[in-house]
Structure 1
């Protein structure tokens, strides 16, 4: 009986040790449940962060030929990380396609996301948002010499392009031009090729994305300035991380007040003729 009790005590000690070891591992940015209860601020104390971005959107988040990353969203992400105590060289940027953003945050694959991530009530059910840090609008991109399209209502009978799975083009058909001929391509680059060749008459998505493409192709395209919707871009992070949300909000406010926000926005969007307005009010 005594020997049995010793075994039981030993088993309890071993189980407790394993549980404590499991609770102490990981920094929360590498995936799975490791460190899942840590706040963003606590994870930043390790000196490294994993940040989700887009890598195929000129002006917002683009991977360069040398393997680096550039764009307004990238600048915002770097500024936030620095305010959290993490230098640029210690950031791991990770591609997060639109359909995978909530999952990446919930699983801990990324510490936060800056990727033209519009704040919506549906998304708020799964993740928290800091910001917004930018107010974008759905717009139209047309050829620079096309003066026939000055608004969405001018798209009736014309070919409108957007990517498969996007709601932008459907919004135009339902609310502005029901007789628009919708063309859905696999990617924006294909829409641009079609727009340049005349295969389509207009491309629609967020004006920030369109401005990036226009800036990348000087003299070929222009934004109509239709302002078909408001898209408040937020920084996505783990739901319930109040401390992390407040820290990001403070970083965004500092970026705005310092003039770095305006400088970055004009650098990446200005060459297209895009008029950068004032930053949106941060939600507390």
Structure 2
């Protein structure tokens, strides 16, 4: 029997709505700020309701230029960010799948040593190896290119570890049955392993896409051409104004647009994401 406690229900709902309000308030303020002219923020208070400059601000940001020294329109920077995020995501998933497959299902000398060497790279994030990585990319003439934006970031020890754990849970009888049916290594990989790993791939896709989309330091270092600016790094450039007022309305509109793709990916893949994290049955 479940005891009915109205005060507990009220407290839980009040806590939930308070959390929603705290999360939604900055988004609301950014949306409102994008509809006011830039001069509205020099009077010492933040508007709380919509203004009449929204269409002009959003049109300028999307199709003309982002503003504050960034002359590239936001839609083009969103395209650059999307190319970078998808390149990093698919690259990490593909390499990690093949690495985990080789470590789990193939017998070769120093197999476990190879895995632990890969796992130890978790202690070396991009920020630690930024100087040698930049030197290699520069020597290969990959500055200001999509290859330079994505290639140094596609290796992932975390994804390799997660796929290894997933593959270790596959029964040995299934492997023997596939071998008896004449399935070779590639057929076993594509016809059996990939379908069984679908939820794990979906969960990693969400995490890695957000990771790639939010990259700031690496694009900032290797891009000097406006044609390869990504959206997140451009927001910081828009704030770096040496003289004159900061166009907060354009910055807020750009920030809201930068939020849309990650939110869309999380919402669109929510069921598979949650299932990939909690479902233990393969």
Give the TM-score of the pair, scaled to structure 1.
Answer: 0.26
Greater relative contact order (CA < 8 Å, ≥ 6 in sequence): 2
- Answer 1 or 2: which has greater helix percent: 2
Max Rg structure: 2
